[in-house]
Amino acid sequence: MSKDRQGSQENNNSNNGRSSSTSGGLGIPSREPSLGDTNVNCAKSPTSPQRQERNPSVVSTTAVDGNVLTASGNGRSNPSPPSNAQQSTAPSNAGQPSGQTGPNSNSQIAPLNLSPSERAMMMGKVLKTLIMAASSASPASALIRDRKVPGRGTVRHCLVGTEMVDWLLGLSPEVHSRAQASAMWQVLLDEQVILALSKEHQFKDKFVFYRFHEDAEGRGDGPAGRKPGQDAVRDAQQKKDEVISTLTQLAPDAVLKAILRKPTHDRSPDDLEIIYEELVHIRALSHLSTTVKRELANIIVFESHPRAETVLFNQGDEGVSWYVILKGSVNVVIHGKGVVTTLQDGDDFGQLALINNAPRAATIITREDGCQFLRVDKDDFNRILRDVEANTVRLKEHGRDVLVLEKVSANPSAAHRHSASSHYKYTVMAGMPQKMLEHLLETRLDARHLSVRDEDIIRPYSSATDMFLDDFLLTHIMFMPTHQLITELMRNYRIESPTQDKEFVVASKSRVVNFVYQWVTSIRDPVFDETITHSFFEQLHSEVHADARLYHTLREEAAMLDHVQELLGEYRAARQQGGSLATLTWTLPAGGQSVVLFSAVNAAATAAASNRKGSGESNAASAFSVEKRRPIRADDDIIFRVYCADHTYCTLRQPVNATAETIKLNAADKLGLRHEELVLAEIKSNGEKSVIADTEVSIATCLSINGRIFVSPKDHLDAMTVLPDQEGPSDGTCNELEMFSTRELAYYITLIDWDLFCSVHEYELLYHVAGAQPFRKIKSNLDLFLRRFNEIQYWVVTEICLANTLGKRVQLLRKFIKLAAYCKEFQNLNAFFALVMGLSNVAVSRLTQTWERLPSKLRKMFTEFDGLIEPSRNHRAYRIAVGKLQPPILPFMPLLLKDMTFTHEGNRTLLDSAGLINFEKMHMLAQTMRTLRYCRSRQLLLQPPTPRSEQEVRNYIRNLRVIDNQRILTGLSQRLEPKRA
């Protein structure tokens, strides 16, 4: 801390009864809502695939049991009042009083299911058939055989864990490791398809005995080595790949459950990391700090209830546990009211009763078989509260908190082992903006450490454990505008005082210069776009050079400012006419295509590409780079149409950042409308009208695919109707599409998508989630990338629904499934999701005759793809898959925006009226923003396909014409294949 800092530090070791603003980032509200209170929080739905069943649903928060119950409101109806069985007060855990499910309760060690599911039985049958077919020739070495088991004598039809893993590794090249094979067997153990003789619930790659379900004692059906019939073997071979794929998808979830069912003291550091990664993606825990989530990973336990109508606790019971639903659903029942709500996957209940020591105000009853929960018990919960508070340091000025720090281990794995050599550091949980900046400069950019080259202190963005500087740079616009930031930086640079020694003065100046250098090189153009920074950089450059003559240790800092000035000079040159950042003109075509550069630029690019092709250049990526688009800038112009209710229109040329009010008034002047009571609105192709606020910017780039801008008197809004061309094309392009190679299509789709993706700055995600108006910034590049997703999705549906023969539809299905496979191979997951979701659209999925004609191999491939985009458990399957990839990656952008929306809307920015910033929220937002940086940290280098129709393919995929009105698409589908009686 600086020697002249006013205020005091104090460690607070108070008890756990505290509010979220003083909880060290725990983020748990202290007020208990009264029964019957209902607060509806409509989550801002990010621009996302327009597939209803996959879209983020509305989130409602209902106060029941003195606890905040977070529930998805999409398609959930309250069931009828509980039956007599439901009203029973007898808990399912024998020997446990109601609500007293401790760490060793039966529910934690009981089987997860009453009996194997039909799918699990099929997978077990396939694997057993293949095992028996392979070993029938040599019964002595067969995997399934009678064995002598210590203490039990000879047990029939046994397998050994190590041999089972060996066999599965040899069965398929898709099984890459013993850990993966063990996890796949764990799936079948959880389903009770295989049983452990030891009754253990965790599969072990050891000399441990297992049996198949049907070979359990008393249910064997003859010799274990009996050879299965040829038909059975043939059927098993055909289903093998499907079984391996399904087990691979289910394996991570099975591993997690096995870890959670371990005694908490037996969890390894790797186990704790797996649990933590799961907790990060649970919506109900999104408001908790990173430290609290890591603490929860140590103590959270798994609880399962195989039977429906099991009572977890009764109204009036003491609150002893907090629950998060992993799988299944529960009814919330209040005496005299019956079922007041239903909670499902990802919801939580029971939290506030732990804090406030309040009795349960409702009864919780499982609604279906096989419900699974995460549970936190009261003693552990209170200990975490005490530990967090004990490790919280509060800096106060004038009796008010100005900075809240949390003491954490610098080496989490060492902390788990309680290593005596663990080092600790302080992370910022909350603070006043100026105080957070001071703390950042003093602790993360301390030039006095330069002699020991402590990289984690100088450049924390390179450290996986401390991202404070990077978090601040990525999110400061949320709480500390640029003009305020540069004022504070200059104040910290000029911190000369007779009471300060020379070393402190030099260190202070060096910290500021290091911060500025990281700011410019990390954030890039948006820093220079704020013209107020130009004079700041010039002034700082001058002062640093003057000080370097007095303090020779500042020479390196002077060189850093020279580089900043060079970058500023390059920026200014690029902004001049003819430069790479000079003002451009874009156009929004009238036919529904996306925004493109205006005429002359496109013509020049096309001509240059043609010249390269004529000269014999074979590198398609090189030719394509001629058309590489520059990001849309706020001061660029855009040409678009504005319509009246009678479908007359005017063409406007406006800056991209022109407000809706400016556009409305200019259009009114051209169309001869009076200015009074006018509104600007978007009319979508389905007739939906959306009034645009006067302060909105980048209007033309955020329209839906076939949306149009209308201007009208406010009281004539209902008179506006859809334009004929908004309905989209009436003929498909199946014949043209079949001329193109599928790989070639995927290649150019990926190049276009990569171009759009690289144009999106990290700040645009913040503008999208928090609203662009407060920042007075545009998010046009993000808008176009999201629009491209919807274009591809509806392109699939449009082409299939406009194919008027069964043969053409089957042909298109094959084409699009293979196209999705190529996009997945190219790691273009955004287009992959769009294609698969298009194929899953109800207008396509209902075409039973078409799907029946599709080869079984492609049907299996699509099933695998559909499993990858499955949204359950917060898109767990996708997150696991993308976590294994190396950049370059084109991520599923709607999910990133959904993550940021939940973070933004689930966590307050200001923790008190005095302006204390919730910096833990900033850290969570920055984590998602860093995903963009990681995904494009390597250049996209794809092997170009053999040129066949290069220019035609590019022109085709740049100008997709689609129908985005679901009603029209469903009507077309029903005409192709009417409903069967």
- Is the bond preceding residue 871 a cis peptide, omega within 30 degrees? no
Of 527, 541, 516, give the one whose Cα is nearest residue 571: 527
CA atoms within 13 A on the CB side of 461: 18
pLDDT at 76: 34
Token pair for 459: 């450049």
pLDDT at 109: 55
If you average pLDDT over every residue of the chain, what do you get? 80
Confidence of residue 498 (pLDDT cuts 50, 70, 90): low
Please give the average per-residue pLDDT across 310-334, as a whole number: 91
pLDDT at 972: 95
Torsion angle (degrees, nearest 10) of CA 79, 85, 86, 91: -160
Q: Which of 210-224, 237-251, 943-957 has the lowest mean pLDDT?
A: 210-224
Q: How many helices (H) and strands (E) does the chain have?
A: 35, 27
| pTM assigned to the model | 0.75
Residue tagged 């609880």 (tokens): 303
Greater confidence (669 vs 4) lies with 669
Distance CA(405)–CA(466), nearest Å, equals 13
Q: How far is CA 641 from CA 587, 618, 700, 701, 709, in A?
A: 10, 40, 9, 12, 7
Strand pairing class (209-212; 153-160): antiparallel
Please give the average per-residue pLDDT across 244-269, as a whole number: 87
Q: Which of 57-71, 403-417, 487-501, 563-577 has the lowest mean pLDDT?
A: 57-71
Token pair for 406: 């949390």
Q: How far is CA 114 from CA 190, 417, 571, 795, in A?
A: 11, 38, 67, 45
On the question of pLDDT at 966 being above 90, the answer is yes
Of 698, 708, 687, give the one whose Cα is nearest residue 657: 698
Token pair for 842: 């109800």
On the question of pLDDT at 505 being above 80, the answer is yes
- Name, in order, each residue with C-beta under 8 angstroms of 509's C-beta and a sequence gap of 6 or more: 493, 544, 547, 551, 554, 557
Structural domains of the chain, with CATH: 1-25+316-423 (2.60.120.10), 118-260 (1.10.10.10), 432-575 (1.20.870.10), 585-727 (3.10.20.90), 734-976 (1.10.840.10)
Confidence of residue 140 (pLDDT cuts 50, 70, 90): low
pLDDT at 58: 30
Q: Which of 165-174, 524-533, 613-622, 891-900 has the lowest mean pLDDT?
A: 613-622
Please give the average per-residue pLDDT across 585-605, as a whole number: 69
- Residue 409 three-state SS: strand
Of 905, 879, 673, 595, give the one whose Cα is nearest residue 768: 905
Token pair for 944: 């170009």
pLDDT at 750: 96
Q: Are 815 and 734 in contact (CB under 8 A)?
A: no
Q: Which of 266-275, 804-813, 838-847 has the lowest mean pLDDT?
A: 266-275
Contacts 24+ apart (CB under 8 A), 413-418: 413/269, 416/269, 416/272, 416/298, 417/269
Distance CA(290)–CA(29), nearest Å, equals 17
Confidence of residue 293 (pLDDT cuts 50, 70, 90): confident
Burial 367-403 (b: 16+ CB within 10 A, else e): beebbbbbbbbbebbbebbeebbebbbbbeeeeebbb
Per DSSP, what are the bridge partners of residue 890?
828
- Name, in order, each residue with C-beta under 8 angstroms of 464's C-beta and a sequence gap of 6 or more: none
CB atoms within 10 A of CB 578: 7
Greater confidence (719 vs 889) lies with 889
Distance CA(482)–CA(472), nearest Å, equals 12
Give percent of the chain above pLDDT 70. 79
Give the model confidence (pLDDT) of 466-476 as tens digits: 789 999 999 99
Contacts 24+ apart (CB under 8 A), 488-493: 488/433, 488/434, 488/437, 489/437, 489/515, 489/516, 489/536, 489/540, 490/536, 490/539, 490/540, 492/437, 492/438, 492/441, 493/540, 493/543
- Under DSSP, the state recorded for 206 is S
Token pair for 354: 């732990």
| Secondary structure string (H, E, C) spanning 518-561 | HHHHHHCHHHHHCCHHHHHHHHHHHHHHHHHHHCHHHHHHHHHH
Confidence of residue 220 (pLDDT cuts 50, 70, 90): very low
pLDDT at 223: 45
On the question of pLDDT at 915 being above 90, the answer is no
- For the residues of 748-777, what is the DSSP string, one character each? HHHHHHHHHHHT--HHHHHHHHH-SGGGT-
pLDDT at 962: 94
Q: How far is CA 436 from CA 439, 454, 891, in A?
A: 5, 21, 32
> 315: buried, middle or exposed (CB in 10 Å: 19+, 13-18, 0-12)?
middle
SS3 content of the chain, % helix, strand, coil (to 5): 50, 15, 35
Distance CA(670)–CA(245), nearest Å, equals 61
Confidence of residue 345 (pLDDT cuts 50, 70, 90): confident
Give the model confidence (pLDDT) of 524-552 as tens digits: 999 999 999 999 999 999 999 999 998 88
Give the model confidence (pLDDT) of 657-693 as tens digits: 999 999 999 999 999 888 888 999 999 999 999 999 9
Q: Which of 564-573, 616-625, 775-784 has the lowest mean pLDDT?
A: 616-625
pLDDT at 111: 63
- For the residues of 832-890, what is the DSSP string, one character each? HHHHHHHHHSHHHHT-HHHHHTS-HHHHHHHHHHHHHT--HHHHHHHHHHHHT--SS-B
Q: Which helix (H) or strand (E) holds 607?
A: helix 599-614
| Residues in the chain, total | 981
Q: Are 836 and 824 in contact (CB under 8 A)?
A: no
Token pair for 114: 């009453």
Please give the average per-residue pLDDT across 549-575, as a whole number: 93
Torsion angle (degrees, nearest 10) of CA 765, 769, 775, 777: 50
On the question of pLDDT at 555 being above 70, the answer is yes
Give the model confidence (pLDDT) of 45-65 as tens digits: 333 333 333 333 333 333 333
Q: Are 906 and 921 in contact (CB under 8 A)?
A: no
Confidence of residue 893 (pLDDT cuts 50, 70, 90): very high
Q: How far is CA 702 from CA 179, 721, 766, 772, 786, in A?
A: 46, 20, 16, 12, 9
Distance CA(133)–CA(151), nearest Å, equals 31
Q: Which of 283-297, 374-388, 447-461, 503-517 has the lowest mean pLDDT?
A: 447-461
pLDDT at 759: 95
Give percent of the chain above pLDDT 90. 45
Distance CA(778)–CA(656), nearest Å, equals 8
CB atoms within 10 A of CB 476: 20
On the question of pLDDT at 213 being above 60, the answer is yes
On the question of pLDDT at 438 being above 70, the answer is yes
